[in-house]
Structure 1
């Protein structure tokens, strides 16, 4: 900073004191750009262009620490050095306690001391800002980690013969966590229930709502509630807990029969699952998608029963996987192109989840805008 020009705003209504400050800076050969405001109101308008403020506490429109507090309350307030008179040193000490970087006594400061004071104030403010931003990032990371654990839990399939793979990839255009969630639970009778969902929007409110819905789903399933009632109850929970009337959630819920030869799935405005056997993508019977949760009161979602061939895999995913861009095309990727990509990778073996995500991301030209969650159930018999 020694050779860097610093923008200093002098807030002083006394012309003589203002001339003295300017002379002291010239005396120290200081690389400063000095501007002046004679009132606090004028200073507030000029604050965004300053890196350091030299503030007199006795102004026509402000007396004492009130002016200091007003400037400190401004967004991204710069460093502030308070100027006091010979008989007002106590006020300078109080100003530092209130948030000023330091105070200087008029008539007892030379150019070199003024120079050091301004440099110290600016560097201290920069260090404080850097520390504050670091704390904010750490708090955001901690909050994100807690929410992710709630959205993406450990599945309760310890004693089940159904295999499970899950993936989650956050969207690349923001640091905000989305509301994608999934879960899977094995029941005493051998049935395996799973859900994947996506709360519209991004941010901590949406993520917290996703956590709420996921926990409610697990509790309802463990309580043995039928699938139709589970979705209707989740709809009620969403309406009660959402932070805005327009918030909705898409979901795909599946129930694999104990003999692993059939599955019933429900769609609430969500992409249809993909049924895979060997190198083939099995076309599912056309079904009514159903409206998302939180859209129509008293709506009833209908399930679709599908036979499962030997060696089946059932992939449920959120729409971030199909909404990426495609080079030289105005349309999104879509389900049809996703199936084409999947079919190619199935020829290379059963480990296809990561390669498919990688190719979709590459086609998009970089990180996908939306979060991607994949839940893959596999026949373990």
Structure 2
């Protein structure tokens, strides 16, 4: 018989539900009598065989107490069947004096504990059942933690591999041009999401930027986001822009998505080679923030005229309107996904929102992605639950 370790749980304060699998009516009666004398007698469901226990097992059962000498299974074979039948339920094995060694083997293959029938008394049986239940809960919690850590590590590897490498000429830096991009995965659920971004400069010198968000979280959405990003890059390099490009991406989305409910918001920007004019399409996406002449003395606000139309994947035969934006010599455009503005303020129910983001930028006196994201995380007071992608393109006056 296994010894009860220090710290053994006390008698339960609320009623437990036990499934007793025992073909001997006398032994079953003994177990019921012993448990009936406890401070909080459990509810006992009695089954005489494994076949009968399968019919009587319910979600309310917290512990299976099983004799390994049953009419339809014996020994460790019986235990394996019980564990397969109730993988998330504690299992306590009852043995006789002649096969106590089987109890040790039973613990080794998955039972939480074992007792020798001839040595059982009221206190020992009740505490052994409580211990088995608590040990199973701890095992399940540890398993969930390990699974979450493994998923988090795999997601981190995938996310790193899914991020793009911008295609830009180095000469842009000599024109006072600035490009920053950040991607921060949400970690509360440790799930991949469909946020994506990319930047490409075409041979004519024009700069193309995209940011998008596939609805939902998970590997399917992340894969769809990558498919759309690569399709966008390919189309841009092939010379497609504007409504023609968006219509093609809409068709790609409809063919690649797993269900018709999935849609994608997106914002595309094409900046002329001389960095003085931009053309945007805001496709059901949060409009970019635009700064002209500096944050402190110039103009800061959302790009006027947005949105250009609904998200991709909802309506057919849509014409997304272009938004023309004169830039000037000193400007900045901040594109972002809703993970940035849907962070809470002070851990309460209020969201940051576009207005809150603009206040934050004014406080900093400039748009610096790292400082903005750090401030948003501090206001949220917790790991962001949604993925966050942001791209900043700017031109500083000489």
Q: TM-score range by the shorter chain?
A: 0.7 to 0.9
2:84: which partner in 1? 72
- In the alignment, is residue 38 of structure 1 matched against residue 46 of structure 2? yes
If the length of structure 1 is used for normalisation, what is the TM-score? Answer: 0.75
Say whether the 8 Å CA contact 1:72–1:99 is kept in structure 2. Answer: no
The one of 322, 326, 329 equivalent to 1:310 is: 329
Say whether the 8 Å CA contact 1:11–1:36 is kept in structure 2. Answer: no
The one of 364, 371, 391 equivalent to 1:375 is: 391
Moved more, 229-238 or 164-173: 164-173
The one of 128, 140, 147 equivalent to 1:136 is: 147
How far apart are residue 268 of structure 1 and its match? 0.9
Query: 1:87 & 1:368 partners in 2: Cα distance?
Result: 55
Query: 1:171 & 1:257 partners in 2: Cα distance?
Result: 34
The one of 243, 250, 258 equivalent to 2:273 is: 258
Helix, strand or coil: the match of 1:234?
Answer: helix
Equivalent residue runs for 1:202-217 within 5 Å: 202-217=217-232
Moved more, 12-21 or 331-340: 331-340
Change (3 A) 1:316 1:241: same
Helix, strand or coil: the match of 1:319?
Answer: coil
How far apart are residue 292 of structure 1 and its match? 0.7
If the length of structure 2 is used for normalisation, what is the TM-score? Answer: 0.73
Query: 1:99 & 1:262 partners in 2: Cα distance?
Result: 68
2:28: which partner in 1? 18
Equivalent residue runs for 1:233-244 within 5 Å: 233-244=248-259
- In the alignment, is residue 4 of structure 1 matched against residue 10 of structure 2? yes
RMSD: 4.4
Say whether the 8 Å CA contact 1:262–1:305 is kept in structure 2. Answer: yes
How far apart are residue 357 of structure 1 and its match? 4.4
Give CA deviations for 1:260-281 in whole Å, capped at 9, x if unaligned: 1211211111122222132223
Say whether the 8 Å CA contact 1:322–1:333 is kept in structure 2. Answer: yes
Query: 1:326 & 1:129 partners in 2: Cα distance?
Result: 34
Helix, strand or coil: the match of 2:266?
Answer: strand
Query: 2:310 & 2:278 partners in 1: Cα distance?
Result: 21
Query: 1:356 & 1:87 partners in 2: Cα distance?
Result: 67
Helix, strand or coil: the match of 2:209?
Answer: strand
Change (3 A) 1:244 1:59: same
How far apart are residue 315 of structure 1 and its match? 0.8
Change (3 A) 1:242 1:170: same
- In the alignment, is residue 301 of structure 1 matched against residue 316 of structure 2? no
Give CA deviations for 1:350-377 in whole Å, capped at 9, x if unaligned: 3543444455566667666644322101
Give CA deviations for 1:179-235 in whole Å, capped at 9, x if unaligned: 221111223332221111111223333223222222222232233333433222211
Change (3 A) 1:242 1:35: same
1:149: which partner in 2? 160
The one of 78, 81, 85 equivalent to 2:93 is: 81
Change (3 A) 1:54 1:322: closer
2:50: which partner in 1? none
Say whether the 8 Å CA contact 2:192–2:217 is kept in structure 1. Answer: yes
Query: 2:350 & 2:125 partners in 1: Cα distance?
Result: 62
Query: 1:134 & 1:367 partners in 2: Cα distance?
Result: 17
Query: 2:159 & 2:23 partners in 1: Cα distance?
Result: 55
Query: 1:12 & 1:252 partners in 2: Cα distance?
Result: 66
Give CA deviations for 1:81-127 in whole Å, capped at 9, x if unaligned: 2657969999x8998898556777766x6669989987996687456
1:289: which partner in 2? 308
How far apart are residue 170 of structure 1 and its match? 4.5
Change (3 A) 1:197 1:139: same
